[in-house]
Amino acid sequence: AVRKDNKQRFSLLEENGELLIRANQGHTVMTVESERLLKQILSADEVQFCVHGTYKRNLESILESRLKRMKRLHVHFSSGLPTDGEVISGMRRDVNVLIYLDVRKALEGFDGVVPVKCFEKIESWPDRKPIPFLNV
């Protein structure tokens, strides 16, 4: 299951001579402390870029009502692109729109729903053509 899962949702851990399977993401059980699995970013200099992958069919709604966590615990972002080997979570490989976060603006704070003013740029994927938007 670990090798065949292209979303890399699971990993193996050896403990006391036993091989254990662990979930990497998608925790909705309240006993899992998801905050301990995340890295807090305190400065924009800590990441080269921060990107959210989505689909063209969702873009109009995102631009109208901001980027929301929906049924997840958090809005997922990645510091890599879908074709980067090290991107484990934060983005599905079949996305066709990339929303880049202006990390400096985001660090100023917001109410948990990412406002459009925090979007640095939006591109189609994989051709990386700019998608115009008003970031106000």
136 vs 4, 5, 100, CA distance in Å? 43, 39, 15
Q: Identify each DSSP E strand in the chain by its residue range.
A: 10-15, 18-23, 51-54, 97-101, 119-124
Please check whether residues 87 and 119 belong to one and the same domain.
yes
Q: What is the CA radius of gyration of the chain?
A: 16
Query: Taking the CB of residue 51, how many other CB atoms lie within 10 A of it?
Result: 24
Q: What is the pTM of this model?
A: 0.72
Please check whether residues 133 and 88 belong to one and the same domain.
yes
Query: Taking the CB of residue 122, how many other CB atoms lie within 10 A of it?
Result: 22
Note the pLDDT of residue 115.
94
**Which structure tokens are listed for 19?**
């091989």
**Which structure tokens are listed for 76?**
């997922």
Please check whether residues 68 and 127 belong to one and the same domain.
yes
Please check whether residues 79 and 95 belong to one and the same domain.
yes
| Number of compact structural domains in the chain | 2
Q: Give me the tens of pLDDT residue by residue for the chain, a chain 136 residues long.
A: 666 666 666 676 666 666 666 677 665 555 556 666 677 788 999 989 999 999 999 999 999 999 998 887 778 888 888 887 655 556 788 899 999 999 999 998 887 799 999 999 999 999 999 999 987 7
Which has the closest alpha carbon to 89: 51, 42, 33? 51
**Domain coverage including residue 17:** 1-38
Whether 52 and 76 have beta carbons less than 8 Å apart is answered as yes
Whether 88 and 73 have beta carbons less than 8 Å apart is answered as no
**Which structure tokens are listed for 104?**
């400096």
Please check whether residues 52 and 90 belong to one and the same domain.
yes
Please check whether residues 77 and 96 belong to one and the same domain.
yes
Please check whether residues 78 and 46 belong to one and the same domain.
yes
Please check whether residues 25 and 49 belong to one and the same domain.
no
The residues, any chain, with a CB within 8 Å of residue 38's CB and separated by 6 or more, are 74
Note the pLDDT of residue 54.
94
